[in-house]
Amino acid sequence: MRKLFYAAFSYMIIGVLSGLYYRELTKSREFSSSEFSQLPLVHTHVLTLGFVVLTIILVLEHQFKLSQSKLFNWFFWTYNIGLILTAGMLAVRGTMTVVGSEPGPATAGISGLGHIFLTMGMVLLFLNLRTALKPHFQVGSSAPQVESAIL
């Protein structure tokens, strides 16, 4: 649970700082807000996929003890690698666009790899959730039903 908390907190700080970086870089380079750059997407991706998603998973961990499964560590590291690759390549491409440079094909490939890792992480999360929630899906079990607990 501790690593989820610190990861979510770190992504919150990185997300806010990436917004500041975008603002200051575009202002210093006199880059018009009407021109397209992937740089502002770093801010939203890191805050949403890092801070918000991991905070929700922190609540799920508290409720369902997801980290007791071997799948949890696989999810955690796969997801974080994917997020770092994706956000990093958004930052590289966006910065290159703002400074007037053309990104190479490797940035698209690494970004695609980041998205693949994010997808694998989400699949691992749902496999982990299914395992944790399985007792709650049993008909006639003494455990409370998940549908009524969530709604």
Mind listing the pLDDT tens digit for each residue in 44-98?
Answer: 999 999 999 999 999 999 999 999 999 999 999 999 999 999 999 999 999 998 9
Q: What angle do CA 62, 87, 102 make, to 5 degrees?
A: 175
Which is it for the CA torsion 39, 44, 46, 47, positive or negative? Answer: positive
Listed by start position, the domains of the chain span 67-133
70/63 Cα distance (integer angstroms) = 17
Query: What is the pLDDT at residue 144?
Result: 54
Q: Is the pLDDT of residue 30 over 90?
A: no
Query: What is the pLDDT at residue 127?
Result: 94
> pLDDT for 103-147, tens place per residue?
888 988 999 999 999 999 999 999 999 988 888 777 655 555 555
Annotate 82-108 with DSSP letters as a single string. HHHHHHHHHHHHHHHHHHT----HHHH
Structure tokens at 78: 């796969």
For residue 46, which amino acid is it? V
pTM reported for the whole predicted model:
0.85
Write the DSSP symbol of residue 68: G
Q: Is the Cβ–Cβ distance between 132 and 106 less than 8 Å?
A: no
